[in-house]
Amino acid sequence: MQIVLPDILRTLAYARHLNPHYDEAKVESSLWIQSLVEKLFDQKGQKAFQKDYTSLLASLMYSHQDKEFLRVGCDMMNLFFVYDEYTDVVSPETAHKLSQIVVDAMKNPDERSSYGEHPIGDKAKEFWRLAVTLLPAMGSNSGVCKSRFIQRTEEYLNAVTVEALDRDAGTIHSVKEYLTMRRATSGAGLMLALIEFGLDLPKAVLEHEVIQALEGYAMDLYSLLNDMHSYASELSSGQANHNLITVVMHENPSLSLQGAFDWLGSYAATVVDRFQTNVRNLPSFCNVEGPAGEGVDETLQERINRYIRGLGQVVRAEDDWAFETTRYYGEEGQKIRETRLLMIKPIKTNYAKACSKAT
């Protein structure tokens, strides 16, 4: 069946940009994650993982960051891609235990976990030790940044566990329930939280209603894009129940498959509009006091602007990456990007399901 993909980001004011440190960071991060991939997947699975270009996604997202930041971004992407694929094929009980191990690894990176040891937990500790080096040594908000990232990690991992339970039960949620869940299961919150590292943004700024609205819209757009691009492969691997296309059609039985894609496109257009409206209405934070009564923080507004640009780049990156990797469209990504025409056909993409050593 041929589907016309909606061009969700046609009006989004952020362009594709690849971090100039991509090649170097990719090599380093690939070598770092290789030992974990070898432990969890067989040779066929390892080869498939290498084709997914996870470092490319990080380099499109964090396109204006320096080499040190990008390396952390690549490590994060590699770690959680492995986690996501691995937990797709283990029991909900195992997924829950793994989530506890990973969160504990970040909270206590220098201690043995009371939840047990696992290779994924070991890599989580290594990732976190490197990530915190991005925080300013004298920053007053480093604690806020770390706690927010760990909270987003916990939300994501808990949501993945619930997704595993739903998968076992064959549950299909309502559209409203699904959209709420998807913010967490997409992992977008993690990707956005990493942008804060090094910006030293005050809690009062991060909790401002406009900033929180922008974060929510960015997570929604990332999720909508991911569901649009991944639908065909998830349908083939039997995992399409946790996809907005399936959810919309389940709630609206008379809707065709093309109608569901059109619904997603229309809904996404409203989210893009809300995101850009909030960017235009961003208040001035130039009167916020600096740390320890040091007076007005004159660089804060510029750092906030960098954060907002980062949100937009994360969204743009997901769309560009989907066409530039082989994960969803094989070798036809560029053609599909140009024509917007997608032929729904069987594609096996979950290398963990076919090739893992999961138990």
pLDDT for 248-298, tens place per residue? 999 999 999 999 999 999 999 999 999 999 999 888 875 544 444 444 467
Give how far Cα 321 sits from Cα of 16, 54, 93, 261, 356, Å. Answer: 10, 9, 32, 19, 25
Is residue 287 helix, strand or coil?
A: coil
| Measured distance CA(20)–CA(320) in Å, rounded | 16
Domain enclosing residue 275, as ranges: 2-12+21-355
65 Ramachandran zone, left/alpha/beta (phi>0; psi -120 to 50)? beta
CA-to-CA dists, residue 51 to 30, 62, 131, 208, 326, angstroms? 11, 20, 25, 40, 7
Count of domains in the chain? Answer: 1
Indicate the average pLDDT of the chain: 89
Q: What is the pTM of this model?
A: 0.91
How much of the chain exceeds pLDDT 90, in percent?
69
Higher pLDDT, 351 or 30: 30
Q: Kindly calculate the radius of gyration of the chain based on its CA atoms and give it in whole angstroms.
A: 20
The distance from CA 244 to its chain's CA centroid, rounded to whole angstroms, is 16
Task: Tell me the CATH number at 282.
Answer: 1.10.600.10
- Which band of pLDDT confidence, cut at 50, 70 and 90, is reported for residue 358? low
Bridge partners, 342 (sequence order): 3
**pLDDT number for residue 349:** 52
Q: Are 163 and 242 in contact (CB under 8 A)?
A: yes
Cβ atoms of 84 and 49 within 8 Å: the answer is: no
